[in-house]
Amino acid sequence: MSVLIDDLRAIVGAPHVLTEATHGRQALSAVERDWRKRYHGRSHCVVLPGTAEEVAAVVRRCTSEPGVSLVPQGGNTGLVGGGVPDETGRQVLLLTRRLNRVRHLDRDNQTVTVEAGCVLQALQEAVAAAGLLFPLSLAAEGSCTIGGNLATNAGGTQVLRFGNARELCLGLEVVTARGEIWRQLDGLRKDNTGYDLRDLFVGSEGTLGVITAATLRLFPQPRSRVIGWAACADLATAVALMRRLRDSFDAELVGFEAMNATSLALVARHYPDLRRPLEGTHSPWSVLFEIASPHDEAGVRALAERTLEAALEHEEALDIALAENDTQSRTMWALREAIPLAQSAEGLNVKHDIAVPLSALPDFVTAADAALASLVPGARHITFGHLGDGNLHYNLQVPEGEDAAAFLDRHEAAINACVYDVVIRFGGTISAEHGIGRLKRAELAARKPAAALAMMRAIKQAIDPAGLFNPGVLLPDP
Ligand SMILES: Cc1cc2nc3c(=O)[nH]c(=O)nc-3n(C[C@H](O)[C@H](O)[C@H](O)COP(=O)(O)OP(=O)(O)OC[C@H]3O[C@@H](n4cnc5c(N)ncnc54)[C@H](O)[C@@H]3O)c2cc1C
């Protein structure tokens, strides 16, 4: 195996291959452990190619080494353990962070071609500097990469208007298991020449190939943004408020997020400087909405005020505040985005990233809350997320004062089964955003229809017959 490391050094340059012997265990641990600290593997080595050609050469070399497999990793912000190696010490961890160039921005076509290791926020900023908008936005945007976003088909806060990463992607450059580079970066919006290969790789979680670049859709920057906060008595009224805003603003309603009171209490504990709007109003639910429009702010604001007055009259909210300036807008978003960080600071927890049809969401939460109350009394419900997409992070924090690890050992499997049973009963999915990774393979096996699983396995077998890419992730064992 040391010959493998020497050969990889020859391909990417010695400084770009990290091993325990040259860089120490601590440096490797940082990329071998996942963001939630639930998985801590051991790689054979870490390799950082600088071009697609180098990635292809790494793949070809690894294919010829029996028993070795490859794990692609971008920003390592994934929440299901898909981007870290297992414990065998036989996996090469391929970091994309040196593939970080914005290759080409085409104003007329409204597209950008960017390498996979480019950090999402860096792309947003580069595109904004050219007066355009790349709308994918999530709390991990300062670290997550375009390749990771596509490999997980990331969602985020603007899906309501712009769709998931899949909808934003027009083409890909991928290194396949044969060590070939497949390029389709022409930025076409129409191409009916057979199976859509791009869509196979989007959401494949590193199991079919290494994404090295992508061509992505861009949009005009909105002329005005109006952001508001509403206190709601329950989820059903929050859904009614959304319907009203959508009737008024149609596609200009770009974000609609809900948070329960326990989520915000956790943020208050860990981020006391973030002041909640409408602090005087006690409400079980809070809602953050964003309207982004090509029209002047005065007109948008006036329509928002009329719409919200009607919402108050119909008791769709207890109180509503519109942000008066950028600072207030940023604080509202910071509160929402601090929830996963506050959960992490509070300690181990159980996360569910579910979606059900929006019309069924309030009843789903009532049913799931009731089922869990009898299963794990005292567990804290941290329920928040992209209400507009029917997607909630339906999470549980262990009861105050209990040992988190022991609690998870005892209850996690039963909690998951309980929540997912209710999800399926309401016609939903066990993963709306984060994917399957290592965490949810067993659940996928239990709940995905057999015909779908068989087709997924057939695709994997056709594209990566030797199982080079990310074994142990996404696909359940046969
Ligand atoms: C605070 C926080 C908030 C988050 N909010 C959201 C949210 O709102 N919506 C959402 O969808 N997700 C969210 N996430 C999850 C995570 O940020 C996304 O899944 C993100 O898209 C992962 O990108 P990454 O570069 O960090 O990928 P990684 O974590 O490095 O990898 C994730 C998966 O993609 C594969 N992969 C990575 N790069 C490539 C590549 N170039 N080619 C092939 N496979 C690759 C890996 O093997 C792994 O299976 C959040 C995470 C955090 C920590």
DSSP 146-178: HHHHHHTT---TTHHHH--HHHHEEEEEEE-TT
236 within 8 A of 148, measured Cβ to Cβ: no
Say if ligand 1 is within 6 A of residue 349 CB. Answer: no
Strands 69-73 and 91-95 turn out to be parallel
pTM, to two decimals:
0.94
150 within 8 A of 439, measured Cβ to Cβ: no
330 within 8 A of 376, measured Cβ to Cβ: no
Say if ligand 1 is within 6 A of residue 390 CB. Answer: no
Q: Among 34, 79, 99, name the best residue to mutate to test ligand 1's pocket (greatest count of ligand atoms within 8 A of Cβ).
A: 79
Ligand 1: residue whose CA is nearest its atom 2? 140
Cα 80 to averaged position of ligand 1 atoms, centre (Å): 9
- What is the 8-class DSSP label of residue 477? P
How far, in whole angstroms, is CA 288 from its chain's centroid? 19
Say if ligand 1 is within 6 A of residue 117 CB. Answer: no
Say if ligand 1 is within 6 A of residue 148 CB. Answer: yes
> How far apart are the C-alpha atoms of 414 and 343, rounded to whole Å?
21
- Name residues whose C-beta falls within 8 Å of residue 366's C-beta, 6 or more positions apart in sequence: none
Q: Supply 457's token pair.
A: 């396995």
Q: Supply 61's token pair.
A: 């070399």
**Ligand 1 atom closest to residue 145's alpha carbon, by position in its atom list:** 25
**Ligand 1 atom closest to residue 138's alpha carbon, by position in its atom list:** 8
Q: Among 37, 71, 77, name the best residue to mutate to test ligand 1's pocket (greatest count of ligand atoms within 8 A of Cβ).
A: 77
Hey, what amino acid is at 471? P
> How far apart are the C-alpha atoms of 303 and 138, rounded to whole Å?
28
Q: Over the chain, what is the mean pLDDT?
A: 96
Q: Look at residues 74, 115, 108 and name the one whose alpha carbon lies nearest to residue 215.
A: 115
**Ligand 1 atom closest to residue 205's alpha carbon, by position in its atom list:** 49
Angle at 75 between CA 106 and CA 469, to 5 degrees: 95
Q: Supply 341's token pair.
A: 């960080």
Cα 153 to averaged position of ligand 1 atoms, centre (Å): 8
- Name residues whose C-beta falls within 8 Å of residue 439's C-beta, 6 or more positions apart in sequence: 38, 79, 80, 81
Ligand 1: residue whose CA is nearest its atom 53? 77
Domains of the chain from N-terminus onward: 2-95 (3.30.43.10), 102-220 (3.30.465.10), 224-345 (3.30.70.2190), 349-425 (3.30.70.2740)
Say if ligand 1 is within 6 A of residue 433 CB. Answer: yes
Say if ligand 1 is within 6 A of residue 151 CB. Answer: yes
Angle at 248 between CA 243 and CA 249, to 5 degrees: 95
Say if ligand 1 is within 6 A of residue 152 CB. Answer: yes
Q: Write out the chain's pLDDT in tens, 478 residues.
A: 589 999 999 999 999 999 999 999 888 999 999 998 999 999 999 999 999 999 999 999 999 999 999 999 999 999 999 999 999 999 999 999 999 999 999 999 999 999 999 999 999 999 999 999 999 999 999 999 999 999 999 999 999 999 999 999 999 999 999 999 999 999 999 999 999 999 999 999 999 999 999 999 999 999 999 999 999 999 999 999 999 999 999 999 999 999 999 999 999 999 999 999 998 888 999 999 999 999 999 999 999 999 999 999 999 999 999 999 999 999 999 999 999 999 999 998 999 999 999 999 999 999 999 999 999 999 999 999 999 999 999 999 999 889 989 999 999 999 999 999 999 999 999 999 999 999 999 999 999 999 999 999 999 999 999 999 999 999 988 7
Helix (H, G, I), strand (E, B), or coil: what is residue 335? helix
- What is the 8-class DSSP label of residue 110? T
Q: Supply 3's token pair.
A: 């010959």
Q: Supply 77's token pair.
A: 């912000």
